[in-house]
Structure formats: C-alpha cells, structure tokens
Amino acid sequence: MENIMTLFKIIIAISIFIVWVVRFDNIVDEFKHFGLSNIIRSLVGAAKISMSTVLIISIWFPDLALIPSFFIAFLMLCAQYAHFSVKNSFTKFLPSFFLLCLSLTIGLYELEFF
C-alpha cells in the first residue's frame, strides 16, 4: 500500500507541475473564465506547488503527508465548484476530480482509515 501512496504523490506533484508551470497560459485563461483575480490565481498556484512539493518530501518523511494531502483535496474541491459554477463540460471536471480522489486517498491512508 505504501508503494501505491508513493505513486499517488508522484502523480499529484507531476500533474500540478505540468498544469501550473508548463501550461500556465491555460491557467490564466481558466481563472479569467471563472472571474477570479490574478492574486487569487497566484495564491492558489503557490499553495498547490508548495503542497505538492511537501507531498514529494513526504515520500521520505511520511509524517508530512497529512496536511498537504487534505489541503490539495480542498483546493481540488474548490476547482470542482469553479467548473460547476461556470457550467463547464464534464471533461473539464475530470482532472481536478481525479486529483481530489488521489489526495483524499492519501489523507485517509495517513489517518489509518484503511
């Protein structure tokens, strides 16, 4: 199970890096579409990048995984709400929903829920 959690952490971190660094222009357009300010976009980006970095560090220091996993889950839940509020298509919901599920799984595992 530990290997699966490590894989989930890597998937989350790589996904966030690709979306928030490599494809940043898409993020700018999405946040404009959502009607959110540049400050909110910057705060969300900084939070996602820093929390995903801590998730990677938690591969070697597992006690660090709980807070970033639930914080990322919260941010992905907010992304779900944003997509819903502007009536985006189902395919726009999928990436953040997938990362929400992975983050919740990590958090619940850290709480020894399963």
Count Cα atoms within 13 angstroms, Cβ side, for 82: 21
What residues does each domain of the chain span?
Answer: 2-110
0.85 exceeded by the pTM?
yes
Tens digit of each residue's pLDDT (9 = 90 or more) over 35-45: 999 999 999 99
Tens digit of each residue's pLDDT (9 = 90 or more) over 1-55: 999 999 999 999 999 999 999 999 999 999 999 999 999 999 999 999 999 999 9
Instruction: Using the Cα atoms of residue 104, residue 110, residue 112 and residue 114 in order, give the sign of their dihedral.
Output: positive
Which is nearest to 5 in space by CA: 60, 48, 75?
60
Measuring CA to CA, how many Å separate 106 from each of 40, 60, 95? 26, 15, 17
CA–CA separation, 47 and 49 (whole Å): 6
